[in-house]
């Protein structure tokens, strides 16, 4: 009775607030982050049982084949240029068929508010960068993924949660779990570790992509293509225990994706921001930090130093918001395959080197090579880009726009006929 009165009081005061969120009154209840399933996470994995398992709160069924799906969106781009983004976590049946929208009564809205109210704003922050809708409606996309797929997870049924769990806690758990899983699946880095980085022209075989990913994941994921370019990946799992806190057991994809066996493009996300965290699982002794990137559409106004720069990058030339080639290893502008640049230092002051040697500016000309005296550069954010600056100047220019095998020397400032900026893109 007391609890009810308190709740009524809280709801009343929340309603009076202009910032009313339907989730504000949940703090009397157990929040998602404090919930454990009480299930074993070491028993029989889903889809591997030989007799019926009755407790489907601790055994994911019938959707026991779980797919963590990721996008590589390039047209339009979504998310950071050096990370794939989350599509979802889908509970397929063991034979690959699936249910959808299993409980419309739990098609929650204001998931951002729900995550915040239940102590999962870290998850929300991550989703804001890595769980992107192609049309910019992230919240609607999250609602769709939850209601279509999340409500079909037997282990997230409301009756499986401890009594006193807050309303919507199982949805918060769903998002926490998806983010946790996604962070262990750094597709971009696994490909990059095998020398496979985005490009507008290079093509790959399915076998080479799959081999690189299998090296990272241990099993074979499925790759989907659109118009011959890879744009989605599915990592398959069985689950021991509950989606809340069970063990995801990786498995080979039971069916191949839609990519052809040869001629696959892995296109560049031109114009996307670079982040320094990505989904790295590399062991490192220093704490990783997220580079906050501004998401405005302005590209001509330089604002501030980014909080981080990549250590390996390609440098893209940007004219009127579009990429036109970039820098080769001697520091010239071309549309040929771009060189890898090594950045050493901080965003405010760093040096650049390539396979040819140090880079520097002398008499207004940028160059790299064994005889070049190294000079310091800085980075500034401009819209979604991290731009190279020499003496604070982000404009560079050349006599003409390169094409084919031509390369032009890069001058600092905008005095030559073709003016452009140089965008640092993590490689």
By CB under 6 A, name the binding residues for ligand NAG.
Answer: 49-53, 61-62, 395, 414, 419
145 is an active site residue: yes
Query: For residue 396, what are the β-bridge partners?
Result: 412, 420
Min separation Cβ 319 and ligand NAG, Å? 9
7 vs 419 by CB, closer to ligand NAG? 419
State the catalytic residue, choosing from 26, 143, 145, 170.
Answer: 145
87 is an active site residue: yes
* DSSP H or E stretch at residue 117: helix 111-117
* DSSP H or E stretch at residue 423: strand 418-426
DSSP per residue, 36-104: -----SSSPPTT--SS----TTSS--S--EEEEEEE--BTTB-S-TTS-EEEEEEEE-TTS-B-----G
Min separation Cβ 350 and ligand NAG, Å? 21
51 vs 363 by CB, closer to ligand NAG? 51
33 vs 419 by CB, closer to ligand NAG? 419
Min separation Cβ 190 and ligand NAG, Å? 32
Q: Is 403 helix (H, G, I), strand (E, B) or coil?
A: coil
CA-CA-CA-CA torsion sign (317, 322, 324, 329):
positive
**Cβ-proximal residues to 211 (8 Å cutoff; 6+ apart), any chain:** 194
Min separation Cβ 364 and ligand NAG, Å? 13
State the catalytic residue, choosing from 26, 87, 143, 238.
Answer: 87
- Euclidean distance between CA atoms 276 and 291, whole angstroms: 6
Q: How many CB atoms lie within 10 A of CB 374?
A: 15
**Spatial CA neighbour of 252 closest among 234, 273, 227, 270:** 234
250 vs 414 by CB, closer to ligand NAG? 414
3 vs 52 by CB, closer to ligand NAG? 52
**Cβ-proximal residues to 165 (8 Å cutoff; 6+ apart), any chain:** 29, 30, 32, 35, 158
170 is an active site residue: no
State the catalytic residue, choosing from 26, 149, 189, 204.
Answer: 149
- Euclidean distance between CA atoms 25 and 168, whole angstroms: 12
Min separation Cβ 280 and ligand NAG, Å? 35
69 vs 302 by CB, closer to ligand NAG? 302
- CA angle 333-337-338, nearest 5°? 55
Min separation Cβ 286 and ligand NAG, Å? 35
Q: Which sequence positions are flagged as catalytic? A: 87, 145, 149
């Amino acid at each position: 009775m007391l609890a009810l009165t308190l709740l009524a009081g809280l709801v009343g005061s929340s309603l009076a607030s202009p910032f009313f969120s339907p989730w504000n009154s949940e703090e009397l209840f157990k929040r998602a982050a404090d919930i454990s399933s009480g299930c074993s996470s070491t028993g029989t994995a889903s889809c591997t049982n030989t007799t019926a398992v009755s407790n489907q709160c601790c055994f994911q069924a019938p959707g026991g084949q779980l797919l963590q799906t990721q996008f590589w969106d390039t047209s339009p781009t979504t998310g950071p240029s050096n990370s794939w983004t989350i599509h979802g976590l889908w509970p397929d049946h063991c034979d690959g068929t699936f249910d959808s929208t299993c409980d419309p009564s739990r098609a929650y809205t204001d998931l951002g508010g729900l995550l915040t109210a239940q102590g999962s704003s870290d998850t929300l922050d991550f989703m804001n960068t890595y769980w992107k809708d192609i049309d910019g409606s992230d919240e609607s996309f999250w609602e769709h993924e939850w209601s279509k797929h999340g409500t079909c997870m037997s282990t997230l049924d409301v009756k499986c949660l401890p009594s006193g769990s807050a309303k919507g806690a199982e949805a918060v758990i769903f998002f926490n779990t998806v983010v946790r899983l996604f962070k262990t699946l750094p597709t971009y880095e696994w490909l990059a570790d095998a020398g496979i980085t985005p490009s507008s022209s290079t093509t790959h075989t399915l076998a080479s992509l799959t081999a690189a990913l299998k090296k990272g994941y241990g099993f074979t994921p499925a790759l989907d293509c659109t118009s011959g370019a890879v744009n989605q990946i599915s990592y398959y799992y069985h689950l021991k225990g509950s989606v809340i806190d069970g063990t995801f057991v990786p498995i080979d994809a039971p069916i191949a994706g839609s990519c052809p066996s040869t001629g696959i493009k892995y296109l560049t996300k031109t114009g996307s921001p670079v982040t320094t965290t990505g989904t790295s699982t590399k062991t490192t002794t220093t704490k990783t930090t997220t580079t906050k990137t501004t998401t405005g559409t302005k590209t001509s106004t330089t604002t501030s130093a980014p909080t981080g720069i990549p250590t390996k990058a390609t440098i893209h030339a940007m004219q009127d918001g579009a990429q036109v080639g970039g820098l080769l290893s001697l520091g010239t502008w071309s549309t040929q395959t771009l060189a890898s640049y090594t950045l050493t230092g901080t965003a405010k002051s760093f040096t650049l080197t390539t396979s040819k040697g140090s880079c520097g500016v002398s008499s207004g000309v940028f160059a790299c090579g064994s005889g070049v005296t190294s000079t310091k550069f800085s980075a500034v954010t401009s819209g979604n880009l991290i731009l190279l600056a020499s003496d604070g100047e982000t404009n560079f220019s050349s006599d003409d726009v390169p094409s084919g095998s031509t390369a032009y020397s890069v001058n600092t400032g905008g005095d030559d006929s073709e003016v452009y900026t140089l965008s640092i893109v993590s490689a």
